[in-house]
């Protein structure tokens, strides 16, 4: 039996949520950590997202190590995807940019990394039924290049209320790597207070590469980057939100064949980012997109276009008709539906609680 939880122990969790947990008998970190999110929902009446968050945060406090595959599957069944603006891009991403993981956009200057971020800033705000994530967006801009004018242009070109979209994008300028680290540490609070569903870091490595120069500083630099990525991944999991990072390629002079460009950040970046998307300039306003090193996405090369409306299909259409079943692969875990699980009457609720108590 662990210590009784108090407000502040679980970063970014509101006092009303803590009260609900107490009331339901989930008063210790251990109790919250071992109770599956769907059971937390049934016991407390809190939202699914909040339940996943408290469960993940508690688990990390109790045991930051292994989780069972069944627990992982349960958590992943809540995963959502934001559309990218291009149907083909959505398709090779398995339906869009996932929540709960980090997606890395890799490419040389002008390859379209920031353009994808702008487009996602608009599209992720759309309701889930329209292929968005139904939440706000938070941007950590390390280069001072993230311009609201472009978000406005994309929103208008797509017929959305630009003022509303702009007011739901929070932008912080990171002036150096320490500032970037601090902004990332603050994310749980921001995510909680502003219902953030997409976090963008454009770019992830820039400051670190600029500040830690020379071989002697490499270990320290990689350690710091790993720390930031760890924090970002935890936020992605705990708040079931998408994290999108941009990363430049660096030329490797000793490559004698193949593509001489490599993503910056080495193994540390490669390990932390679940999906790595490689962008190259194509003819005219098109860009070639390929997913690399993915655990389950195909390594297929497709083409997108960059227009006033942001990322579009290759033929510059912005056909955003959305069929939520379009991308559901057969082996996907069954969707968790609150409707099905809803306890109908107080009697049934009591029965369920009794059964749970009997099991203990």
Ligand X SMILES: Nc1ncnc2c1ncn2[C@@H]1O[C@H](COP(=O)(O)OP(=O)(O)OP(=O)(O)O)[C@@H](O)[C@H]1O
Which residues here bind ligand X, judged by CB under 6 A? 107, 109-115, 153, 248, 285, 306-308
Q: Which does 87 bind (CB under 5 to 8 A by kind): ligand X, Mg ion, none?
A: none
CB of 203 to Mg ion, least distance (A): 7
Beta bridge partners of 281: 287
Token couple for 281:
């300039």
CB of 347 to Mg ion, least distance (A): 58
Provide the mask over 85-114, with x wherever binding to Mg ion is found by CB under 5 A and - wherever it is not.
----------------------------xx
Of 105, 149, 51, 135, residue with least CA distance to 244: 105
Binding of Mg ion by 247 (CB under 5 A): no
CB of 79 to ligand X, least distance (A): 26
The Cα-based distances of 105 to 54, 211, 304, 350 in angstroms read: 29, 22, 14, 49
Taking CB under 5 A as the criterion, which residues in 107-166 touch Mg ion? 113-114
CB of 280 to ligand X, least distance (A): 10
Radius of gyration over alpha carbons of the chain, in Å? Answer: 21
For ligand X, the closer of residues 85 and 112 by Cβ is 112
SS3 for 133-199 is CCCEEEEEECCCCCCHHHHHHHHHHCCCCHHHHHHCEEEEECCCHHHHHHHHHCHHHHHHHHCEEEE
Token pair 């705000």 is at which residue?
Answer: 125
For ligand X, the closer of residues 81 and 280 by Cβ is 280
For Mg ion, the closer of residues 200 and 228 by Cβ is 200
For Mg ion, the closer of residues 20 and 113 by Cβ is 113
CB of 114 to Mg ion, least distance (A): 3
Q: Which does 307 bind (CB under 5 to 8 A by kind): ligand X, Mg ion, none?
A: ligand X
Residues in the chain: 360
Beta bridge partners of 312: 305
Write out the E strands in the chain: 81-82, 97-98, 102-107, 136-141, 169-173, 196-202, 242-247, 249-251, 261-263, 275-281, 286-292, 301-307, 310-313
Cβ neighbours, 10 Å, residue 349? 14
Beta bridge partners of 301: 290
Q: Which does 111 bind (CB under 5 to 8 A by kind): ligand X, Mg ion, none?
A: ligand X
Task: Count Cα atoms within 13 angstroms, Cβ side, for 99.
Answer: 28
For Mg ion, the closer of residues 84 and 114 by Cβ is 114
Q: Which does 248 bind (CB under 5 to 8 A by kind): Mg ion, ligand X, none?
A: ligand X
CB of 186 to ligand X, least distance (A): 24
The SS3 call for residue 84 is coil
Token couple for 112:
């379209």
For Mg ion, the closer of residues 12 and 310 by Cβ is 310
For ligand X, the closer of residues 111 and 240 by Cβ is 111
Q: Which does 127 bind (CB under 5 to 8 A by kind): Mg ion, ligand X, none?
A: none
For ligand X, the closer of residues 111 and 168 by Cβ is 111
Cis amide linkage into residue 203, ω under 30° from 0? yes
The answer to whether residues 208 and 142 touch, using CB atoms and an 8 Å cutoff, is no
CB of 107 to ligand X, least distance (A): 5
Q: Which does 109 bind (CB under 5 to 8 A by kind): Mg ion, ligand X, none?
A: ligand X
CB of 113 to ligand X, least distance (A): 3
**Closest-approach residue to Mg ion (CB):** 114
Residues that bind Mg ion (CB under 5 A): 113-114
């Amino acid at each position: 039996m662990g210590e009784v939880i108090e407000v502040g122990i679980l970063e970014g969790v509101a006092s009303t949520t803590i009260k609900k947990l107490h009331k339901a008998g989930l008063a210790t970190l251990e109790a919250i950590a071992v109770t599956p999110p769907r059971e937390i929902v049934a016991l407390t009446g809190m939202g699914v997202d909040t339940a996943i968050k408290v469960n993940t945060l508690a688990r990390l406090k109790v045991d930051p190590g292994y989780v069972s595959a069944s627990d992982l599957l349960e958590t992943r069944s809540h995963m959502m995807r934001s559309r990218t603006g291009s149907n083909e891009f959505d398709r090779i991403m398995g339906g869009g940019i996932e929540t709960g993981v980090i997606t890395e956009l890799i490419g040389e200057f002008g390859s379209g990394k920031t353009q994808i971020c702008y487009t996602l800033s608009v599209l992720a705000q759309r309701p889930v039924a329209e292929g968005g994530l139904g939440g706000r967006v938070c941007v950590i801009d390390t280069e001072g290049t993230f311009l609201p004018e472009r978000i406005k242009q994309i929103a208008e070109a797509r017929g959305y209320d630009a003022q509303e979209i702009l007011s739901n994008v929070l932008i912080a300028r990171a002036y150096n790597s320490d500032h970037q680290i601090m902004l990332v540490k603050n994310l749980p609070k921001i995510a909680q207070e502003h219902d953030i569903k997409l976090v963008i870091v454009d770019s992830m490595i820039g400051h670190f590469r600029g500040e830690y120069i020379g071989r002697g500083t490499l270990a320290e630099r990689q350690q710091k980057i790993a720390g930031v990525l760890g924090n970002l991944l935890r936020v992605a999991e705990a708040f079931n939100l998408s994290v999108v990072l941009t990363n430049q390629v660096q030329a490797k002079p000793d490559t004698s064949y193949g593509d001489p460009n490599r993503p910056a950040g080495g193994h540390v970046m490669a390990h932390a980012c679940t999906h790595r998307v490689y962008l190259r300039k194509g003819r005219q306003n098109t860009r070639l997109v390929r997913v690399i090193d993915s655990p389950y996405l195909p390594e297929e090369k497709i083409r997108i276009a960059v227009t006033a409306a942001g990322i579009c299909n290759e033929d510059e259409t912005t056909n955003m008709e959305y069929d939520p079943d379009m991308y559901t692969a057969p082996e996907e875990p069954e969707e968790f539906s609150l409707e099905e699980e809803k306890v109908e009457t107080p009697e049934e609720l009591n029965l369920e609680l009794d059964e749970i108590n009997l099991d203990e």
